[in-house]
A and B are shown apart, each in its own frame.
Chain A
Amino acid sequence: MEQLRKERIDRSLKVRTEGIYAISSLEEILYLVGPRLIFVVGVLILPIFLEAAPYWKRVINIMCAYAILALSFDFLANFVGLVCLGGALFTGVGGYFAAIYNHYLSLPIYLSILLATLSGAFFCTLVLLPALPLRGVYFAIVTLMYPLLFSRIIEALNILGGTNGISGLGSFPSPNVEHYLVILTLLFFLFGLRRFVNEDIGLVFRGVKDNDQAVRASGINVTTIKIYAVFIASFMGCFSGAYIAHMYMWAGLSLFALDFSVIPIASTVIGGGGTLIGAVLGSFILVPLSEILRAAGTLRIVIYCVLLTLFIVIKSEGLMNYLQRKYHQFERWVKV
């Protein structure tokens, strides 16, 4: 029997645009800029496009907030090697800090989001500090517990509104501000993070994931690097939390709910880990899906988890890696 194997060859356009010819003609420029431009413009005109459907317009906000959370998970898991199963910790802390600033100290909304993001990031980093010398299973275990722990503490001590939560937070002045704040922040985080991981310091981060002994041998303190990483990730997560709290004008125990941990993980795996944009794409797929399935209750989480498992087992590279491969290379069957 004649055997075939798949051969992958880079497109000539890709090879050309890697070198000095990248901006020699319109075709090459479009090849490089096109996908990014489509994404950026697409996200920016989404609120205008959905003007006719007010319900779905609000979904954009949640979608972008989840995308930021997914970015933070992707960054921690695939660039630093810390699997954080408790993304809800970040949203919860961010949301409650925003509630404290806005409700108890009556600061204006922008200041409260900004302060909540910053102080929440400090707080999360501080809380996760003892777990940082660990890696793999141990870190996952500890982060899995934190959201539960905090919701238990708030419940037990009956502080910060107890089980009722804090209502009456300030809302955004207009829907457009509400949309574009989160969209622009998402774009900023996405492209900022991508630039960041391609810098020299990003190399160190990936070194921590791949071979931390080698990083340590180069005289770099691994734990310090992890502290930076957790700070960046929790900064993004806390922004999401503060934003969501202000969007619903309410901060409560559901900010520590399982959704905020599971959906970002699912979207990262489905979108393709380690690509950053894949995480965003994944949540752009999953969150609207979740809105469609709203009537199904907790079945939604079951569907995510099944999708997640299937993707891990069958297509572990994720959608984005697959699309990128198709974009940059063509495939053909050749005889062995």
Chain B
Amino acid sequence: MHVLVYGVINSVTLALISLGFTLVYSISRVPNFAHGALYVTTGYIVWLFLNKVPKIPYLLAIVLAILITGAIGALIYRFILVRIRGMEISEIIATYAIGVAILEGLRWGGLRGMTFTLPVFFGGSFEILGVTVDYQRMIVVICGVLVFLFLYFFTHHTRIGLALRGIAQDERAAMMLGIDSDMTAILALAIGSALAGLSALLLLPLGNIIVEAGYSVLIFAVAVCVIGGLGSLFGTVVASFIIGFAQILTDKFLSTHYQMVVALLAIIVTLIVKPSGLFGKQKELEERV
């Protein structure tokens, strides 16, 4: 029972982390390696709001922080990525460098130790199927489902969402129909960063805000996306359930240290068996070479 409940919670956590990454990649073809950095940054911004600028209610701080993170994502695209669009090596190195710069900058700025914590939304816990679960984790699961549903409806039933998908499928044809490629990419990066921020705000109250979280979040996001097929929302969810349960099982039968090992082994096995991922449709032929 414990495995089942916490497996679901862990899987939804992973899905939350990686939805932003996969959204950005599927639309603008930019692997946003600064994802983990944005995750930590949002947590830090909220901490600043709560501790350095008092009198701001928690909810307002959250909204502001998510908006700021979205803006950072948009700025990264507008001023840096737009100049190196299409050069894959440069894109990877640039986004990775931005991410590392932000993370190590935060570490240098004093983001160390155990003092940086966010309050939980609601304290307390309840029992489900004989397992004790606290309310925060319940909120994480609910929000995860809501975010997925929102993304699904957003990309399938709104004009902007359809434009984003159009760019993702065939950039030239979409541009011919009057969709601005750069604007959609900016939008995609803003939404993806905001999603990273949202997941940070949901998950960080469960622990400390630490710099290392940035790297592990990036790695888990990438692991989930590679296994699910880069750029497939549905694949992301399935893959996060696979890795989520695998992690809980290793946690139960082996040790916590092996969680990262499991993620990496899963990636390697996926890459050998089906390089484009479980549900990856795009670029299936190219990636095999």
Given contacts A134-B275, A134-B287, A305-B101, contact A152 B257 (CB under 8 A): yes
Q: How far is the CB of A272 from chain B (nearest CB, A)?
A: 13
CB pair B268–A312 under 8 Å, yes or no, is no
Tell which of A38-46, A135-143, A176-184 binds the partner: A135-143
Q: How far is the CB of A297 from chain B (nearest CB, A)?
A: 6
Given contacts A141-B222, A142-B267, A156-B257, contact A308 B287 (CB under 8 A): no
Contact with A along B207-236 (1 / 0, CB 8 A): 000000001000100110010001000000
Q: Which of B80, B84, B108, B271 contacts A297 (CB 8 A)?
A: B108
Given contacts A141-B222, A262-B100, contact A83 B93 (CB under 8 A): yes
Secondary structure class of chain B's binding surface, majority of residues: helix
A279-304 contacts to B (CB < 8 Å): 296-299, 301-302, 304
Q: Which of B96, B223, B268 contacts A131 (CB 8 A)?
A: B268
B42-94 contacts to A (CB < 8 Å): 79-80, 83-84, 87-90, 92-94
CB pair A313–B108 under 8 Å, yes or no, is no
Is A85 interfacial (CB-CB < 8 Å)?
yes
Q: How far is the CB of B76 from chain A (nearest CB, A)?
A: 10
Q: How far is the CB of A71 from chain B (nearest CB, A)?
A: 17
Interface size class of A (residues with CB under 8 A): 35 or more
Is A22 interfacial (CB-CB < 8 Å)?
no
Is B284 interfacial (CB-CB < 8 Å)?
no
Q: How far is the CB of B52 from chain A (nearest CB, A)?
A: 21
Our count of residue pairs bridging A and B at CB distance below 8 angstroms stands at 131
CB pair B108–A137 under 8 Å, yes or no, is no
B219 partner residues in chain A, CB cutoff 8 A: 144-145, 148
Secondary structure class of chain A's binding surface, majority of residues: helix
Q: Which of A142, A152, A258, A297 contacts B100 (CB 8 A)?
A: A258
A134 to B226, CA, bound (A): 12
Q: How far is the CB of A142 from chain B (nearest CB, A)?
A: 7
Q: Which of B25, B97, B226 contacts A309 (CB 8 A)?
A: B97
B248-289 contacts to A (CB < 8 Å): 255, 257-258, 260-261, 263-264, 267-268, 271-272, 275, 287-289
A138 partner residues in chain B, CB cutoff 8 A: 226, 271, 275, 287
CB pair B31–A148 under 8 Å, yes or no, is no
B108 partner residues in chain A, CB cutoff 8 A: 296-299, 302
Is A216 interfacial (CB-CB < 8 Å)?
yes
Given contacts A134-B287, A156-B255, A316-B84, contact A85 B271 (CB under 8 A): no
A222 to B83, CA, bound (A): 31
Q: Which residue, of A83, A138, A155, A304, has the highest number of chain B Cβ atoms within 10 A?
A: A138
CB pair B104–A265 under 8 Å, yes or no, is no
CB pair B98–A309 under 8 Å, yes or no, is yes
A130 to B275, CA, bound (A): 10
Footprint of A on B, CB under 8 Å? 25, 31, 33, 79-80, 83-84, 87-90, 92-94, 96-98, 100-101, 104-105, 107-108, 215, 219, 222-223, 226, 230, 255, 257-258, 260-261, 263-264, 267-268, 271-272, 275, 287-289
**A to B CB contacts below 8 Å, 7 in the list:** A85-B93, A144-B96, A222-B289, A298-B108, A299-B108, A309-B94, A313-B79
Q: Other CB < 8 Å A-B pairs besides A144-B33, A149-B260, A308-B93, 14 of them?
A: A83-B89, A130-B268, A141-B226, A142-B271, A144-B96, A145-B223, A155-B257, A156-B258, A258-B100, A298-B105, A298-B107, A299-B108, A304-B97, A306-B101
